Structures are given as C-alpha cells and as structure tokens.
Structure 1
Amino acid sequence: MRESGEMNKENQNIRFDVDEFEKLKRTLVKYSCALEVVVTHLNNLNTYYNAFEPVNPIEHIKKRIKSPESIAGKLKKKGLPITAESADKNLQDIAGIRIICAYAKNIYEIVEIIRNQPDFTLVREKDYLNHPKESGYRSYHLIVEINLGRLFGDQICQVEIQLRTSAMDFWATLEHKVKYKYDGQMPEYLSHELQISAEQIHELDERMYHIHELVDEINEDLI
C-alpha cells in the first residue's frame, strides 16, 4: 500500500482515456465500499481492545484508494491494458489499509484475528517480518476478499492489509522518498545505509518489546 501523493516520474503522463476513466470511477466506488467494510471490522477490534484489554496493540489505522494515475502507471509497468476491467482483474492493492502496531509481536496476533474474520476470505499473505526483502523492508501483507452483497450483485473486491510497527513505517516511508528522488535507481551507498538502518530498527523493535515484558513482570510482582 503506497499512496503518499508521490508518483514515479515516468508515470506522471500515463492516463486512462476518457471512456475508461468514467468506467474506472464506477469501479472505484465498489472498492471504497469494500474498504469501509474492512475498516469497520478493524475499528470494532480497536474499540474492543480499548474497552476490555489492558493494552491496545493497535496504534492507528490508515486507509486509501489508489489514485487513477497510480493505477494507470502500475498497469503500464505490468504491460497490461490501461482499462478499468484490467485494473479490476489484475491489481490486488487498489484498496489498501495499513495497521500500525506497538510491537512487532503484536502483528501476528492481529493477523490471526483477520484470518478468522467470517466476512473476509484470505487470498494471499506474505510475512516480510521473518523474511524481509533484500532492501531491508519489513511488514506483513494480507490480501482479503469482500463480498459486497446484493446491491452490487454479490461482486467480490480485494483489499490489501499491511501491518507494521511505527519504526518499520518510518523506514518504509523514507525508502520510498529516496527511491522517488532517484527514479528507482538508488545509489548503492544509500541502499546499503537503508539496509543497515532496517536491521537497527528490527533490533530496536525487539529491545522495546523486551522492555515492555520486563515492565509487565515488575507490575505483576507489585500486585
């Protein structure tokens, strides 16, 4: 999920033609509805944690619908037709949600809850926490399907969900900005620095969770 108002420069002039753009606008309505279904479930989960658990592992939830320009650019990059039908058929991240968790270990707890939501059908998941990308990128990705019900003729929409810690999110945002600045051709020394930073962030996440556990133990001893 990436929609920060920045586009790769080579995609800035790639557009849907007028007819396809009108079709895309209608297509994006159903993705907006699917997005709201998922967000509602996650907001309910957030409310539950706040009301019934001593600690809420969810810090905040972000959502976005991919812009038409970004959709067109991604279709072009994949060598696919720049049409609404092609976007609907081939792209899994038109609707996206990012869940920021307090600690990396909380992410797996939330993932398990999402897996067991009866209104979601899990299509794909990728664990970039235990298996980070070569760049150092860490996150947990899920693709879920949502049935939009009778109003939409029981159409199915996919929503991408990413889960990461605040530190991971900061790193991913910085990497994206650097990639954009260099048009995807990042200098090797910067790539190396980002890889080192990613490892340091991972270590920091682990140490912060360890401190969290120690505090819990101290509180238990005081009771």
Structure 2
Amino acid sequence: MLYNEYVILEHDFTLTVPQIRASIERISAVLGTTYFSGDEIIRYAELMQVYSGAMREVSTKLENLDEEFHVRNFHNPIHHMECRLKSIESTIDKLKRKHLPINCDSIEYELTDIAGIRVICNYIDDVYNVAQTLAAQSDITVLRTKDYIAKPKPNGYRSLHLIVQVPVFLSTGPRLTAVEVQLRTIAMDYWASLEHRLRYKNDIDESRKLAHAQELLDCAHDLADIEQRMQHIHQDLG
C-alpha cells in the first residue's frame, strides 16, 4: 500500500458573515461592550478565510510529506492532524489579556496563533523529522520555535511549537499568513489532554488539583522514559 491510511485531518474552518455577526452580538451582549461592527465584521470574515487558506496550505504540505515518508521508508511519521481557527471568544480574550485594541489590525499584526495545526506523530524522531522537512520548504518561513520536548514546561508539558508563515494566493496577490504548528507524539498528546482537563476543572478543591498535578508531572517523566525506550526498539527494527 503506497498511501497513508492512518492520517485523519480534522477541519474546523471559517464561519459565514451572518454567523460571525451573531457570535459577536452575543459576546457583546454578555460583556456589555460592543466588539466589531459594520465593515470590521466583514474584514474579520475575510481574515478568517485567509487563515483557513493558510491552514489548508500547511496541512496539504504535511500530508504530502507523510506520504513521501511512507513511500521511501514504509513508515508514516504522522498519526493524525487536527486543524482549528481560534474562536471569536478566545481571540477577544487574548487581545484583552495582552492589552491590545480589539480590532482586526490587532488580530492580523499582533497575534500568530489564530490558525493552528496539531500534528500527532508516532515517535519523537518523527516530530523533529517532520518539523525539519516542513521548515526546509522554499515557501515556508519559520518565525519562531519553542522546543518543549528538549526543555519541558515545569508542569511536564512536552511539544514542539513552530510559528510558520506561508503565502496564501488571493485575487489581489499573495498574502503572507502565520500558522501555529504544534508537533507532539501520541503519548505527549494523551498527557496534554488530561492536563488540560485538570487545569479547567473548577469543581474540585485546590488540594486535589495540586495532588493530581504532581502525579501528572511524575507521569510525564515516566512517559518520556518509555518513549525513549520504544524509540530505540523502533530504530533497531529498522
């Protein structure tokens, strides 16, 4: 079989202008402040279309790389991918946290994680091989790299984060657009999902949260050791 039957690309792309307007009106009503209006809503919708195009460009590149690895090495480095656009609520919340004006200029020129792709790989070497090969493509520019695998976060979180820039070709010409790419192994993703659930679990007392956080940190260390051992077996099998 000369194609990858395992990659599952989950899409969550653009909303229509009426849907965006309804969301913004709902948020404004809850918070008692008007966010975006008129032409800004249309511009926001156009921005989301550009970010969707950028995600498609990068995700297609990743799928092509995965198929090439399979043909050359009979091994698929990518288990699956997930794409998402940051929601209007999350975008407004981030702009407020960063003390930025809540408008389309701030979104376009100050934020780099509106479009996001999570790439779940099988082994640690796969993470770095996919990242390196993606970064080497002529129309990809890496703006920033954060390697939380080499240097995990204090809570045990591990992942490789890239902010890449890719041209999106529109009727008005190419538009350079940022996409956040998070690459991690299946084990790292498994751990991160549980840690995320704990972090946003508000109906348990703080002592239990702290106890679980420490246990999760211990699990992160155990998983890192297990992954290295499994990586060695995989390499030995060729």
Equivalent residue number for residue 18 of structure 1: 37
Question: Which deviates further from its counterpart, 40-49 or 163-172?
Answer: 40-49
Equivalent residue number for residue 223 of structure 2: 201
- 1:80-125 deviations in Å (ceiling 9; x for gaps): 1221221111111111111111111221111110120111011111
Distance 1:150 1:71 in 2: 24
Q: Which of 157, 160, 164 is the equivalent residue of 1:144?
A: 164
3-state SS of paired residue (1:98): strand
Structure number with higher relative contact order (C-alpha < 8 Å, ≥ 6 residues apart) = 1
3-state SS of paired residue (1:76): helix
Aligned partner of 1:29: which letter? Answer: Q
Distance 1:144 1:212 in 2: 30
On the 8 A contact 1:16/1:68 being kept in 2, the answer is: no
3-state SS of paired residue (1:105): helix
3-state SS of paired residue (1:136): coil
Equivalent residue number for residue 19 of structure 2: none
The offset of 1:152, in angstroms, is: 4.1
For structure 1, the residue ranges without an aligned partner over 5 or more in a row are 5-10, 217-223
Equivalent residue number for residue 210 of structure 2: 188
On the 8 A contact 1:100/1:163 being kept in 2, the answer is: yes
Q: Which of 117, 122, 147 is the equivalent residue of 1:102?
A: 122
Distance 1:73 1:149 in 2: 30
Equivalent residue number for residue 36 of structure 1: 56
- 1:136-193 deviations in Å (ceiling 9; x for gaps): 110001111112235243322100111100110011111111111139x963222212
Q: Count the aligned residue pairs.
A: 206
The aligned runs of 1:116-155 (5 Å cut-off) are 116-149=136-169, 151-155=171-175
3-state SS of paired residue (2:171): helix
Aligned partner of 1:204: which letter? Answer: I
TM-score (normalizing by structure 2): 0.79
Distance 1:80 1:55 in 2: 45
Identity of aligned residues (%): 39
Distance 1:124 1:31 in 2: 18
TM-score (normalizing by structure 1): 0.84
The offset of 1:65, in angstroms, is: 1.1
For structure 2, the residue ranges without an aligned partner over 5 or more in a row are 1-11, 13-26
Q: Which of 95, 100, 103 is the equivalent residue of 1:80?
A: 100
3-state SS of paired residue (2:174): coil
Distance 2:155 2:236 in 1: 32
Q: Where has structure 1 moved over 4 Å in runs of 4 or more? A: 11-15
On the 8 A contact 2:84/2:116 being kept in 1, the answer is: yes
Change over 3 Å in CA distance of 1:206–1:160 after alignment to 2: same
Q: Which of 171, 181, 191 is the equivalent residue of 1:161?
A: 181
Equivalent residue number for residue 213 of structure 1: 235
CA RMSD of aligned residues (A): 2.3
Aligned partner of 2:174: which letter? Answer: D
Is 1:66 aligned with 2:69? no
The offset of 1:23, in angstroms, is: 2.5
